[in-house]
Amino acid sequence: MKDRANPLRSSFWTGGAPLILASASLGRQIVLRQAGLPFEARPAQIDERAIEASLGNVAADVVAAALARAKALAVSDLSGDRWVIGADQVASCERRMFGKSPNREAAAELLRFLSGRTHRLHSAVALVRSGEVVFETVAHADLEMRVLSESFINAYLDAMGDAALSSAGAYQVEGLGAQLFCQVRGDHWTIMGLPVLPLLEAMRQAGVALT
């Protein structure tokens, strides 16, 4: 899917053909679009659960970084010398690690667990070209969830529908997810799942973003 970026804003990208985002995430597309970067979204066809299983008992940062890298490399293998961005987000709380919920029941159980607790988002990004990782990093944000009633959880999941299953933690903080929290520590882009500030600096260092 091609992005219809403003051509004037796209002049901040100097890398030739548009970036490829190895993800279908609407949140990440919004981040790239707002940063003035032209891109095409090509979701990676990888088995994320199999990759997670192969890693064994590792930290959330390692999982997020491995998935972001795998997505970017998988798409890069099919994209010649195009610049590819892979990203992934994992959440953790009290030694428990979680990503997207598989169904409504799992999302409700997760919200009950997170209610009244602070959890951490681990947002990883990888920049790849010609099958080589040029840059990768993991950024963090800490989110304190208010105490949620059972009636609120049900109303929230009714309103969210399948969108509650599309992000780690069963929310998008830029939308109805704002109803869940009493305090957030971390930058907006990390919470959206794409730490764009270090990514932009890496692009400048690589000579593909305007300095």
Summarised one tens digit per residue, pLDDT across range 88-144 is 999 999 989 988 899 999 999 999 999 999 999 999 999 999 999 999 999 999 999
What mean pLDDT, rounded, does the chain reach?
92
Looking at the 3D structure of the chain, how many domains does it have? Answer: 1
Judge whether 3 lies within some domain: no
Say if 33 falls within a structural domain. Answer: yes
The whole domain housing 194 covers 9-206
Query: Does 39 map to a domain?
Result: yes
Domain assignment present for residue 70? The answer is yes
pLDDT digits (tens, 9 = 90+) for 134-151: 999 999 999 999 999 999
Residue 211 lies in a domain: no
pLDDT at 1 over 80: no
Residue among 110, 202, 91 at smallest CA distance from 157:
110
Q: Considering only residues 7 and 68, tell me which one the structure prediction assigns the higher pLDDT.
A: 68
Q: Among 18, 137, 126, which Cα is nearest to 74's? A: 126
Establish if 173 belongs to a structural domain.
Answer: yes
Q: Which residues are marked as active site?
A: 88
* 142: CATH: 3.90.950.10
